[in-house]
Amino acid sequence: MTTRDRMLDAAAHVMRTKGLARATTKEIAKAAGFSEAALYKHFADKTELFLAVLRERAPSDLAGLLAGLEAGHGDVREALAEITRVAIAFYVETFPIAASIFSEPALLAAHREALKAHGVGPGTVPEMLARYLEAERGLGRLPAGVDAGSAADLLLGACHYQAFLGFFADRPVDVDALVRTLWDGIGQA
């Protein structure tokens, strides 16, 4: 295992158990068995480390799935079902990491600016899904009246909510019902 891999594993563990707000680079470096200076040889800042954890240590790569979708190939409804499954798994995994930043407005503002500097953020995923849906609409595989941005927001919002509920209730997620409801709604557009 490389030094970078050990750092990512330690960062993922510390961020999951303490939340992003309380996960310091010093604590992450210590958990990995390295100095904080060694950590900065691999990552420019905590935001870059956080993004690497999301890309490389989350159980599902939601952005990667969306980037790999090709309009006109495969069944759109099946693609939405796979997106739903992956999105829920992604949100379940990352919710504990990111939730803590909302308790401190200054930290949230700094994190928002850091994500912006890296050219990423929570708006990236719905934008990717909306582009896919727009392309499918352009090919006539979705009705002309479909608002791709709203459909993306509705689906991903439902996925996020299901992940959130998973922390409070033992209620199974019916992926088929979520997709069917969205599909029936956009099919009427």
The answer for residues whose C-beta is within 8 angstroms of residue 11's C-beta and 6 or more apart is: 23, 28, 31, 32, 49, 50, 52, 53, 57
Give 155-168 pLDDT, tens digit per residue. Answer: 999 999 998 888 88
For the chain, domain boundaries: 1-57, 60-189
In the numeric block, the tokens 């759109």 are attached to 76
CATH code of domain 60-189: 1.10.357.10
Task: Using pLDDT thresholds of 50, 70 and 90, give the confidence band for residue 74.
Answer: very high
Pick the CATH number of 1-57 from 3.30.470.30, 3.50.50.60, 1.10.10.60, 3.20.20.70: 1.10.10.60
Reported pTM: 0.77
Task: Using pLDDT thresholds of 50, 70 and 90, give the confidence band for residue 189.
Answer: low
Structure tokens at 39: 């950590």
Residue type at 23? A
Cα separation, 32 vs 166, whole angstroms: 30
User: What's the average model confidence in pLDDT over 50-58?
Assistant: 77
Q: Is 143 helix (H, G, I), strand (E, B) or coil?
A: coil
Give 111-139 pLDDT, tens digit per residue. Answer: 788 778 777 777 888 999 999 999 999 99
What phi and psi, each to the nearest 5 degrees, are found at residue 164? Answer: -60, -45
Q: Do the domains at 1-57 and 60-189 have one common CATH topology?
A: no
Structure tokens at 10: 């330690």
For residues 61 and 37, the model is more confident at: 37
The overall average pLDDT reported for the chain is 87
For residues 185 and 77, the model is more confident at: 77
Look at residue 96 in the predicted model and tell me its pLDDT. 78
The answer for residues whose C-beta is within 8 angstroms of residue 164's C-beta and 6 or more apart is: 91, 95
Look at residue 98 in the predicted model and tell me its pLDDT. 76
Task: Using pLDDT thresholds of 50, 70 and 90, give the confidence band for residue 55.
Answer: confident
Q: Which of 153, 142, 136 is nearest to 188 (CA)?
A: 142
